[in-house]
Amino acid sequence: MLIARTVADLRRHLSTFQHPVFVPTMGNLHEGHLNLMRMAKPLGDVTVASIFVNRLQFLPHEDFASYPRTFDSDGEQLRALGCDVLFAPDESELYPEPQTFKVLPDPALANILEGEFRPGFFTGVCTVVLKLFHCVFNGQAGTAVFGQKDYQQQLVLKRMVAQLAMPIDIVTAATTRAADGLALSSRNGYLSADERAEAVHLSLALNALAASARAAQATGRMDVTAAENQAMDYLRARGWQPDYVTLRHQHDLSPVSSPDHEPMVVLGAAKLGRTRLIDNTEV
Ligand code: PAF
């Protein structure tokens, strides 16, 4: 596996390939990331992972400084999986000057849910992903793989590449879960032992709401707001501080007033102690 620290080095190494497949990450890799890489392997003629903790997508009070940086073990895991190129620029390479040109994603999709509770998050994500795509694909066609755990992120990025006419196919990989059902996330590492045992209740709350929505699909009769509040009350009673638990349409994340046969998704975000977790389940 080649480790490229500069854009020039990365492009030099990719110049002879036809169809790169790219897995962008912020490092601290877990089985979820490794599954993205496994999915990437057969989709092109060269696999590229990136590790870059992107300052632009963190709010001032968030965990940019303390975000776990585990470069050596990340590199070993990628090498063992047969990743061809690891792009690991430092900040001065990717942001040699303050990044004052930014991507402004569609507010209807990016200012709700995660974007409401983390203002500017999707501007930061889109800006770095656009830049990483330029570095890796250099205007050529390719494929990028993202995880379904970040449901809104993969949707925003699919819209971005479509609207900006980028010849990049975005593939979404199913969420990887621990044996108890907790969605794998680098931030799970912040949880105490007691919090870790409790953490699966976020996905249990989402699954219960998804089951109610599924049951109501035949009749269309469901008090969606009451069911969403019930899920949040369930979490509050167990010591969580939920930001949202909500039933949405899959294609644009608009609210569902009465379930029909349009594909839906339940999304949730909640804090357990100091750790904010997100998850989702499709209906
Ligand atoms: O999902 C992530 O890890 C990040 O948001 C991403 C896509 C690597 C951009 O920094």
- Kindly give the distance from the C-alpha atom of residue 282 to the centroid of ligand 1, in angstroms, as a whole number: 21
Instruction: For residue 97, report the phi and psi dihedrals to the nearest 5 degrees.
Output: -135, 160
- Can you tell me the distance from the alpha carbon of 131 to that of 136, in angstroms, rounded to the nearest whole number? 9
Closest residue (by CA) to atom 2 of ligand 1? Answer: 25
Active-site residues: which are they? 33
Of ligand 1's listed atoms, the one at least distance from the Cα of 129 is 9
Closest residue (by CA) to atom 5 of ligand 1? Answer: 125
Identify which has the larger pLDDT, 218 or 5: 5
- Kindly give the distance from the C-alpha atom of residue 206 to the centroid of ligand 1, in angstroms, as a whole number: 23
Name the band, by pLDDT with cuts 50, 70 and 90, for residue 91.
very high
pLDDT score for 218: 87
* Mean pLDDT within 103-116: 98
Q: What would the two tokens of residue 195 be?
A: 């919090």
Q: Which residues line ligand 1 (CB under 6 A)?
A: 24-26, 54, 57, 125, 128-129, 150, 153
Encode burial over 214-247: b for 16+ CB neighbours within 10 A, e otherwise. Answer: eebeeeeebebeebbeebbebbeeeebebbbbbb
Q: pLDDT (tens digit, 9 = 90+) per residue, 142-197?
A: 999 999 999 999 999 999 999 999 999 999 999 999 999 999 999 999 999 999 99
Strand partners, 279: 268
Q: Structural domains in the chain?
A: 2-173 (3.40.50.620), 186-282 (3.30.1300.10)
- Kindly give the distance from the C-alpha atom of residue 24 to the centroid of ligand 1, in angstroms, as a whole number: 6
- Kindly give the distance from the C-alpha atom of residue 210 to the centroid of ligand 1, in angstroms, as a whole number: 26
Pair type for strands 264-272 and 275-282? antiparallel
Q: State what percent of residues in the chain have pLDDT above 70.
A: 100
pLDDT score for 117: 98
Of ligand 1's listed atoms, the one at least distance from the Cα of 125 is 9
Q: Going by C-beta distance under 8 Å and a sequence separation of 6 or more, which residues neighbour residue 127? A: 56, 99, 101, 102, 103
> Which of 23, 25, 132 to mutate for ligand 1's pocket (most ligand atoms within 8 Å of CB)?
25
Task: Please give the mean pLDDT across all residues of the chain.
Answer: 97
